[in-house]
Amino acid sequence: MVSRFCALLLFVPATLVLCLSVTEVHAEETGLRAGAAQVDITPPTGVSLDGVISKNGPVTGVHDRIYSRALVLDDGNTRVAICVNDLCMVERSYFDRVKKIVSEKTGLPVNRMLMTSTHTHAAPRVPYGRASEQDDAYYESLIQKMATAIITAEQNLAPAQIAWGSFDAGRYAACRRFLAEKGSVSLNPFGVAGEQIKSVAGRSKQIIQPAAPIDPQCSILSVQHADGTPLAVLGNMSIHYCGGYRKGEISADYFGAYANYLAEKLASTGSHPPFVGMLSNGTSGNVGAVMKQDKKKYPPFAWIDESGKQFAEQTVKVLQKLKYQRNVPVEMVEREIELEIRKPDAERLAWAREILANPKQKTVHPWSKIYATEAVELDQYPATEKIKLQAIRIGDLGIAGLPCETFTETGLAIKAGSPFSATFSMELANGSSGYLPTPKQHALGGYETWPARSSYLEIDAETKIRQTALELLRQLHD
């Protein structure tokens, strides 16, 4: 029996039928396509871990392997790549070299790639932890492997559908900076009084309250193949890290545990490339470790595995409620801004050199010698630094890329000011320009504000970065 639709086609001119067919094919071609991939970037024994201030020494073993994970999206007009790396942080020049390689091999423009680090503290900081030529060799191989992740994801492009959502993970997060009564905080490493921040542990009768709010939202971007098979999930959570390592052992922290659990849960047995899970760091520069949900004492790495699993399980529940779309616009913009560097003045340099010339002398703070070294290092920096800011639009979802360890206040302000119905930010994107306290937090003090290679941008940097990120998001929306 001929269907009513087919019967009607018998009376339609052949040229019109051909046009209809071409239109249908064209619509399929211009719908969303996506591809994902991951590449192992685990360093060999002997490569340096972590970084400037809290050095963890060389790699002595591997608890869990670390990866470069990439997601490429193409709406038929614009192609963008997001690459999340299980590294503590990466200097901009290294990410720029990766982008150049990818662009030369695929044609993907360098300004259509967002690259970021998860900020696990059980992986290298590139190149800040450098101690030997072995580190240099690893960094060179790392550049090639990160490029391979993006190139392979681009090669895996296939018809896809996409959705986004979130869940409340606030019970896992807490601000690690505590506002204390005036006069209760001891001298900082430079011998200056008047600060009001007790950081990290912060147990004291003089503590008033946490110095800032948290961002409780765990954002989820889910991509499926056109047939509904899971392709990739990109999570985003504003918690600094989990910790609980064994010294010298490589780990992707809870970011990797999350990705691995999702891969187990959502793996398919079909002909599609393997599913890729990834978790990016939001705005967590002033947030502590993942908070335990019980009073158990966990052995090394156990809470990492458990917390990653708990985040992944909640993500799977969100995925079951999402409504996917095939035709969504994908756009991306970026902008460079130039910021001043807080270089030491003559008085600070004289202080630093006197400290370093007499290393056995008693100092006003346990870290005075460290920050004396940092002052000398900062003196070698240029007067300004150019940083890259990015924004991505995926339908009515906005993503901001920020190159610093960004405080939650900034992430919350970007969400509040964004024109999109859903927005999240990725910190340490396209570089690593130190902590980004707000001007108010600078005034309160604390180690995240002390001038060093870990915190060197001008005091108004947060204002300029936040305003630029919002301008880019509005540009995409309008």
What are 66's two structure tokens?
């670390």
Give the predicted TM-score (pTM) of the model.
0.92
Binned at pLDDT 50, 70 and 90, residue 203 comes out as low
- CB of 253 closer than 8 Å to CB of 243: yes
Q: What is the pLDDT of residues 123-146, one digit of tens each?
A: 999 998 888 999 999 999 999 999
- CB of 288 closer than 8 Å to CB of 174: yes
Instruction: Supply the pLDDT for residue 279.
Output: 98
Q: What is the pLDDT of residues 353-390, one digit of tens each?
A: 999 999 999 999 999 999 999 999 999 999 999 999 99
Q: What is the pLDDT of residues 239-270, one digit of tens each?
A: 999 999 998 999 999 999 999 999 999 998 78
Token match 């600060």: residue?
A: 195
List, in sequence order, every residue forming a beta bridge with 112; answer none if it has no partner. none
Q: What is the pLDDT of residues 401-450, one digit of tens each?
A: 999 999 999 999 999 999 999 999 999 999 999 999 999 999 999 999 99
Helix (H, G, I), strand (E, B) or coil at 267: coil
Q: Taking 60 as the threshold, does the pLDDT of residue 466 lie above it?
A: yes
Alpha helices of 156-298 — where are they, by DSSP H?
253-266
Instruction: Calculate what percentage of the chain has a pLDDT beyond 90.
Output: 88
Interatomic CA distance for residues 34 and 278, integer angstroms: 15
Q: Taking 80 as the threshold, does the pLDDT of residue 11 lie above it?
A: no
